[in-house]
Structure 1
Amino acid sequence: MTAVVTTSGPIAHIRTGTRALLIAGAWAGPFFVVSSLLQMLARDGFDLRRHALSQLAVGHLGWLQVATFTLTGLGIVALAVGLWRTLATGAGRRTVPLFTGVFGAGLVLAGLFPPDAENGFPAGTPGGPVAAMSWHAVVHATAAVLAFTALAVACAAHTIRSARRRAVAAAVLSGIVTVVLLLPPAPAYTGIQLAVTGLISFAWTTALALSALAARTAR
């Protein structure tokens, strides 16, 4: 049976299963961070100064990072569905969950189509970038760009929503995340920049999920 609660506050349309969706979204980010960190420590030749985290999807243990991207993306999609069910009227009601969902879908796609082996990783790979990107690396890169651009849109929409609700802290933090996501790449520090951007992004999605859970519980 489905229970529906409508309110004029920030949370509405509470249904059975929504809590589980939000919990999945809350765990998605920490799961990605912990899994990637453990793989970084375990994989020979991986250097964050030279390699993006997505390169962990290459090699004989690459399936671990493929699974990490896929499960994390599905968790973010679950968060998006939970937000779609719970966000009430107001600015960003549909924009935030919609573009959060695109972010999650982009992570799944990026995981299923890994990048090329290059810059000496996995161990035994020639140093330097590949002469020409493979088709699956092009799909990976395109999916990643679309994913984080979509998240920037979701963050910007949440900034506006929070500002209109006079939630100053949420507006400021979401605004900062938006700026970070839109920063141009620094070629000399690409791996580190992508890792920091990912960490901040997943901190934001986790905070969003926890905030929705707390508001839902309070009603």
Structure 2
Amino acid sequence: MTTNSAPRLAHREISALPRSTRPLLLAGAFAGPLFYLSALVQMLTRPGFDIRIHPLSQLSTGDLGWIQILTFVLVGLGLICLAVGHRRVVTDGLGRAAIPVLITISGAGFIAAGLFPQDPANGFPLGVADGPAAEPTWHAVIHMAAAIVAFTALAVAAVIALIRAVRERRAVAAIGSGIVAIALLAPVAPDIASIQVAITGLFAFGWCTATAISLLKSPRVSR
């Protein structure tokens, strides 16, 4: 009787998750790839853009800036979806509440970074004078602050995930979260700032995608 009751209990636990959980996690998994696919297409098609000089955020400027603005907003919404899915799947242990909150903060930060765009500068978009903007606009200041908050929140989430993985003796997950945390918390070198931030984003979104995929493999979701 005990042997037969365990699967029934597990089935009830799995069935308790709303059907929307899987789509939420998929949205979180695709948030990062969407950001970099959009950025890559724009980098190759928008004249004058140079990643060595211009941060990806500067794609939000000019007549086609709405594409990058929309990208930021969609990515932010994707991270919020990941946070909701994470909260549903992970119901115990370290970080069960903190990690979803931090991912939500990050998602809100990316949405704000999209709604408050960076300033044109350094010859982009075409027609803008070379050199940095004389003085940052208020929306550029909000953009930078929102981006810092978004990346910092993910860094803290990665640190918590690292500690959880160490406690659970999951070496690969611990190493991955540790590398991501270091990459996100590393100081930005002014001479290579635009390239470094782009690479930092790869680590950040890669961690989010890996987290979403891991949750999708959970028996509570996959069965």
Determine if the TM-score, normalized by the shorter chain, exceeds 0.5.
yes
Q: Where does structure 1 lack aligned partners over 5 or more consecutive residues?
A: none
Cross-structure match for 2:76:
73
Change (3 A) 1:13 1:86: farther
Distance 2:178 2:61 in 1: 34
1:142 equivalent among 145, 148, 152: 145
Q: What residue ranges of structure 2 are gaps of 5+ in the alignment?
A: 1-10
- 2:73–2:110 contact (8 Å) kept in structure 1: yes
- Which of 111, 117, 121 is the matching residue for 2:120? 117
How many pairs are equivalent? 212
Larger helix fraction of residues: 2
**CA distance in 2: counterparts of 1:61 and 1:218, whole angstroms:** 40
Percent identical pairs in the alignment equals 51
Residue in structure 2 matching 1:133, options 131, 136, 150: 136
Structure 2 equivalent of residue 32 of structure 1: 35
Q: CA RMSD in A?
A: 1.5
> How is 1:1-219 mapped onto 2 (pairs within 5 angstroms)?
5-6=12-13, 14-215=17-218, 216-218=220-222
Relative to structure 1, is the Cα distance of residues 5 and 99 closer, same or farther in structure 2, using a 3 angstrom cutoff? farther
Shift of 1:131: 1.4
Provide the C-alpha distance between the structure 2 equivalents of 1:160 and 1:43, rounded to a whole number of angstroms: 42
Question: Does the Cα contact within 8 Å between 2:22 and 2:221 map onto a contact in 1?
Answer: no
Question: Deviations for 1:178-215, whole angstroms, at most 9, x for unmatched residues?
Answer: 00000001100011001101111111100100000011
Q: Deviations over 1:105-146 (max 9, x none)?
A: 100000000010001111111111111110000110010001
Q: Give the distance between the partners of 2:171 and 2:56, measured in 1 at CA.
A: 33
- CA positional deviation for 1:88: 2.2
Q: Distance in 2 between matches of 1:199 and 1:123?
A: 27
Distance 1:91 1:122, change over 3 A: same
In structure 2, C-alpha distance between the alignment counterparts of 1:143 and 1:5, rounded to whole Å = 41
Task: Report if the CA contact (8 A) 1:113-1:139 is conserved.
Answer: yes
